[in-house]
Every structure is written in structure tokens, then in C-alpha cells.
Amino acid sequence: MEVTGSPTIRDADADADADALILVDSADRSVGSMSKARCHEGSGVLHRAFSVFILNEAGEVLLQQRAAGKRLWPRYWSNSCCSHPRLGESLEEATRRRLREELNLVCELQFVYKFEYRAQYDATGAEHELCSVYVGRTAEEARPNVAEIEALRWVAPVTLQREMADPDAARFTPWFVLEWRRLWEEHRPLLLDGRPSSRPVD
């Protein structure tokens, strides 16, 4: 099921290029701050980030198509919500804020794991993030912020798994592919029936 954008939700400039993001080392220790724009220039500078996967009562995963105006990976399909905590903001605060700003949703989230990755989009921009991955469930209707999101769709996990394996399927962001692979391989019970995995988290 695809959901179109709502013109009633406006971007509060919450993820502007001037926002100060938190620079970290590979152990997630803060080592300073830098503007969002500079963090994503060239090959990228390692900074703290998060990705959220939202499921509905039918067990479907909410995917978003990034807006055409995005600097990196415009119009690619990705997970429900992803962003960065600002300087002085906790991950808990940042995830709540961005769910409201991007999707007009409020729901409880479960931390699942953390990982570092780097992905190059073009010669001028990249992602280099230490990313915390969360899963949540909601019975509410998501209403996308059209400044951030081109479209939404709900998809069953098994269907998404097949799409990920199909080279002719929709284009997906690189972090989404990495995150989904690990969720599917290591935390599948959490996706399919809400049970936490017996595997330890990072």
C-alpha cells in the first residue's frame, strides 16, 4: 500500500545543512561536532546517526522514498526514518523528534544494534556513520512530510526480502540494504512476531 505526501506537515528545518552533528570514533565516543553539510562532503566524516524501522499491526514494514531534492540518494527507497542527533541531543530525543517531523508518528522504539558504514554517492558526497538501528510498531497512520519524503509504502517482510534480492527491483539506499540484511539474518523474530532475538546486541 502506497501513501502519498501530506501538504499539512511542514519541515521545521530540523535537519538543515547548518545543524551541528556529533562526530564520533568507532567506539561511539564523541570527538567534536561539524555541520551536516561538511559531514557529508567528499568521502564523509564519521558521525552519530540512527535508522528506524516501523511495522504496522499487519506486520508490514514502512518504507519511504526519499524526496527528489535530497542531496544524497534522492528518490531512492529507504527504511521508515533515518537521521542524526544534533549536538547536545540524545538518540532517544532525536528519534522521537524525527518520527514526528518526517512521519507525524509517536511510538515506542527498541534498540537492536549499532554499526559503522561508509557509502559514496558521488564525487562530492557520502555517508560515513555510526548508526544505531531501532524497531517500533504502530497502529497509527503515517503522514509524510513532503519536504522529506516523495512517497510511503507498507510491505511485508518476506516481500521486501525478495525485492532486495532482485536486481531489477526498486533502488534502495545502501544503509537500508545493510541494515535489512542484518535484521533479517540475526533478528528475524523481532520483524515477524515482535519477539526479541536471543543474539546479543552491540
Could you list the active site residues? 82, 129
**Which value, to the nearest 10 degrees, does the dihedral of the CA atoms of residues 36, 38, 40, 41 take?**
160
107: part of which helix (H) or strand (E)?
Answer: none
Grid coordinates standing for 101? 517531523
Helix H or strand E encompassing 176: helix 174-186
CA 165 from chain centre, in angstroms, equals 20
Amino acid identity, position 21: L
